Amino acid sequence: MITASALSSIEWLFDKSVRENSCVGPEDSCEVISQPDAGSMTKHLNRKLVVLNLSSYIFRIVALIEFNSDVSMVEHMAKIARSPDKKLEDQTLLDAYAEFLNMICGTVNRRLCAEFGHVGMSTPFFLDSACVSYLSILNPTAVKSFDFLINGLARFKLTACICVAKDKTLDFAIDQSDDPEAAASGELEFF
């Protein structure tokens, strides 16, 4: 079982993390549109999903990102990757997508570790987009999908499948008004 506050906290963590990691400069914007379920993810032939797992003893979150590999998305991925070449292709583009999901989930993972002590994170891997049809095999407790639009042009979808261990309740609340990471940024500490 997952409580409403835990689900709200997970949604907020992903929303915040995507915004932080999508916007490279002050000119960048990121619009987030919550979707009711994973059914909003499209099934395209020859498209890849980037997948990463966040796991604790109580829960597992399977994060899947599907990218539109149009010119605007590829150029923005090059900007995020700080690549001088705006035309990422083949393995270089896949590596940029994987690192982007790694950054998003890494930010979420750090905040979850503050609540649960230990949350493990896998390395990103790729699946064919047709695998979206089989999310129910994971027997998720909750599934949340989001559409993201960066600078009004670059688009991708993120789906978080939240699986809670049998006979456990996932219940926590993150104070969304106070962000300790933001408060600590810019400070230099000497030991």
**What b-and-e string marks burial along 59-80, b requiring 16 or more CB atoms within 10 Å of the CB?**
bbbbbbbbbbbeeebbbbbbbb
Alpha helices in the chain (DSSP H): 4-22, 71-80, 90-116, 180-184
pTM, 2 dp: 0.83
Domain-by-domain residue ranges, the chain? Answer: 4-166
Burial (Cβ within 10 Å: 0-12, 13-18, ≥19) of residue 131 = middle
d(CA 152, CA 31): 8
The domain defined by 4-166 folds into: Chemotaxis protein chec (3.40.1550)
pLDDT recorded at residue 164: 96
* Each residue's pLDDT expressed in tens, for the chain with a length of 191 residues: 999 999 999 999 999 999 999 888 888 888 887 655 544 445 554 567 899 999 999 999 999 998 877 888 888 888 888 887 778 888 888 898 999 999 999 999 999 999 998 899 999 999 988 888 888 999 999 999 889 988 888 888 999 999 999 999 999 999 887 554 544 444 444 44
Contact between 95 and 122 (Cβ < 8 Å): no
